[in-house]
Structure 1
Amino acid sequence: MLETEGFAVRTFRSATALLNAGDMPSADCYVIDYKMLDINGIQLAGRLRKFDRDVPVILITGYPDKNISTRAAAAGVKDVVLKPLLLDENLVKCIRRAVQDRRGR
């Protein structure tokens, strides 16, 4: 879906795979799931922002929980997008806005 919108996408099978990828891959934006096998998306967002304080992180979740949104905001997550994501224009808009904001700095 994101490739058809013109984004270059790189995927990792787990948070650990991303964190152990050698040099931390640079990105204009990270889109991560809240629920993963090794750590949750909020924990991963915190670790990613240690490498690059300004990198925007968008969290995807199937759990519309205010506690998740509050913790995500405290971890520096730019947006929380709810699943399902079938042809979700909201996700694309969030990514575009995050990338534009980052490049505008």
Structure 2
Amino acid sequence: MIYVIDDDFDVLKSLRFLLETEGFDVRTYRSATALLGSRVRHEADCLIVDYKMAGIDGLELAQRLRDLDITTPIVLITGYADESLPAKASSAGVRQVLRKPDLGDSLLASVRNVMDPSSPAG
């Protein structure tokens, strides 16, 4: 099960379609608060989290999940150019940072890689 957390409905819809087309089960959330309030957050095999969201941003969500001992792999997606983001993300327990314009095949490869790091990405 992959959870996608993004406050942009069109992005959620797009990512759900992409991932379900590849055979993944997907659950979407429109905010970090919605995910944190859910009882099923431990069921995810991978989280795809938007960096910039209203309220709790993606890095803060990642840190809160780690503080709750939830070690689910996280792929952070962003439309913002920030050279310091990969380092900040890594310290929050994020495994991969992707730019939104570069999603698609790179997202699928990243999801497969973080879900099974022993297999080659791609």
Tell me the TM-score normalized by structure 2: 0.75
Unaligned segments of structure 2, at least 5 residues: 1-17
Partner of 1:28: 45
How much has 1:54 moved relative to structure 2? 3.0
Q: Which whole-Å CA distance do the structure 1 matches of 2:20 and 2:68 have between them? A: 25
Equivalent position SS for 1:2: helix
Q: Do structure 1's residue 5 and structure 2's residue 19 form an aligned pair?
A: no
Q: Which whole-Å CA distance do the structure 2 matches of 1:85 and 1:68 have between them? A: 16
Partner of 1:100: 116
| Pairwise CA RMSD | 1.8
Q: Is the 8 A contact 1:24 1:51 kept in 2?
A: no
Partner of 2:106: 90
Q: Is the 8 A contact 2:65 2:71 kept in 1?
A: no
Larger relative contact order (CA 8 Å, sep ≥ 6): 1
Tell me the TM-score normalized by structure 1: 0.86
Q: Identity over aligned residues, as a percent? A: 48
Amino acid at match of 2:96: D
Structure whose residues are more often strand by fraction: 2
Unaligned segments of structure 1, at least 5 residues: none
